[in-house]
Amino acid sequence: MNRFVRLMAVAGFVSPSFACREKKPAAPPPAAVVNSHVTEASLATVTLQPQAEARLDLRVQPVEKRSAERRRMLGGEVVVPSGNALVVTAPVAGGVVAEGGTALRPGATVKRGDVLLRLVPLATVDRDLLAQARRAADVARARDEVSAERLARAERVLADGAGTARAVEEARAERAVAGSDLAAARSRLELVSRSPLESDVSMRILAPRDGVLRQVSVAPGQTVTAGAPLFEVVGITANWVRVPLFVDEVHRVKPDAPVRVHALLSGQDEGVEALPVMGPPSADPVSATVDRFYELPASARFAPGQRVGVSLRFDAGEALLAVPASAVVYDALGGAWVYVREAEHVYARGRVDVVRQEGTDLLLGRGPREGTPVVTVGAAELFGTEFGAGH
């Protein structure tokens, strides 16, 4: 009996202690389950069946290494050669008159000696100018009347036999002078009444050289002062390209080597060849650059002030890898790739860095080792097969 009581007491003491214990939480499920591991290299590997490779007709060629001139694409600016742009100014103050009634148009081609404008000089403004002109006209008319009467009287005296022929000739000459003075006085009075500031003559403004009008600063009917710019003529000879070079690169650029000038700064277009010329010495101390000048061919269609890309040659050569252009494929982000044959029917895609193109080959700054076989025909088909486009 006592034993049963003791067991019941122990059970009553132990049971609450077990009930107070907390249950352990269950372990969380894993964030991801990897069934198999695939290496990065195998993602860019294509294994073809013999029948598929035969249909693609793939061709491989080993990577070559060649010594190539070191080039760099820099920005340049098309400028007008020094002394090739002439600004014509007004020699005197006057009014502008269009030659032939047609106003000058920027971009028009002109020849040396062409009359482009007429300039009517401004007459000096005197006090009581109109009154003086009327007085001069009245005086000239009176002298003309007196000389006419004197000539008639001399002719009558000569007809009566009392005069001489010399007196008639002198009277006739005096009559002609008086008539001329009267005509001039009347013309001046008319001009003063119509436009008192304009003279009765005009000056022809000629084109100083063959070229193109780049800027026109006046319009017909405008009054300009002496020395005011009228227009600017740019010679139609070849323009120059100014290329700023850093001071530590000037001595490494070949001074006598021609360059390629591209309309696109990326240099993706064909470009034209420009020859080095001796330009005016100029530099920029702020950017630590020295200017080099190159002459464009006359057929080059570049406008002054246009930004262009210039491919320069450096003295030091460098060894670069070379592959045919057909061996390189590009992804959607512009990355360049080639396919390397690792084994029979196995091709791996590898990244390359394209430096530039020479002929039908691309020069690479980074790529497979020399002698590595790469696909030169069928690379685009392999690229489509790898990403599903060829299925």
> pLDDT tens across 200-258, in order?
567 888 888 888 888 898 888 888 888 899 998 887 677 899 999 988 888 888 888 88
Contact yes or no for 294/241 (Cβ under 8 A):
yes
Based on the domain organization, do 164 and 209 belong to the same domain? no
Residue 151 structural domain? 129-194
Find the mean pLDDT for residues 22-29. 62
C-alpha gyration radius of the chain: 48
Q: Tell me: the pLDDT tens digits for 220-235? A: 888 888 889 999 888 7
Q: Residue 54's domain is classified under what CATH number?
A: 2.40.420.20
Based on the domain organization, do 90 and 219 belong to the same domain? yes
Residue 200 lies in a domain: no
Separation between Cα atoms, residue 262 and residue 280, nearest integer Å: 23
Separation between Cα atoms, residue 64 and residue 322, nearest integer Å: 5
Domain boundary among 137, 162, 194: 194
How many Cα atoms occupy the beta-carbon half-sphere of 372 within 13 Å?
Answer: 18
Residue 298 lies in a domain: yes
Give strand pairing partners of 159. Answer: none
Residue 113 lies in a domain: yes
The answer, yes or no, to whether residue 275 has pLDDT greater than 50, is yes
Residue 362: CB atoms within 10 Å: 23
Based on the domain organization, do 166 and 228 belong to the same domain? no
pTM of the predicted model as reported, rounded to 2 decimal places: 0.46
- E-assigned strand segments in 114-202: 115-121
Based on the domain organization, do 218 and 248 belong to the same domain? no
Residue 25 lies in a domain: no
Based on the domain organization, do 268 and 328 belong to the same domain? no
Residue 189 lies in a domain: yes
Q: Residue 290's domain is classified under what CATH number?
A: 2.40.30.170
Lowest mean pLDDT among 156-170, 185-199, 258-272, 341-355: 185-199
Domain boundary among 289, 317, 345: 317
Residue 382 lies in a domain: yes
Based on the domain organization, do 313 and 323 belong to the same domain? no
Based on the domain organization, do 248 and 373 belong to the same domain? no
Separation between Cα atoms, residue 379 and residue 388, nearest integer Å: 14
Based on the domain organization, do 296 and 360 belong to the same domain? no
Residue 329 lies in a domain: yes
Based on the domain organization, do 332 and 363 belong to the same domain? yes
Separation between Cα atoms, residue 140 and residue 174, nearest integer Å: 12
How many Cα atoms occupy the beta-carbon half-sphere of 120 within 13 Å?
Answer: 17
Based on the domain organization, do 231 and 95 belong to the same domain? yes
Is 113 in a helix, a strand, or coil? coil
Lowest mean pLDDT among 124-138, 260-274, 362-376: 124-138
Based on the domain organization, do 304 and 245 belong to the same domain? yes
The answer, yes or no, to whether residue 384 has pLDDT greater than 90, is no
Based on the domain organization, do 264 and 241 belong to the same domain? yes
| Number of domains present in the structure of the chain | 4
Token pair for 253: 């650029």
Residue 364: CB atoms within 10 Å: 22
Lowest mean pLDDT among 17-26, 127-136, 149-158, 250-259: 17-26
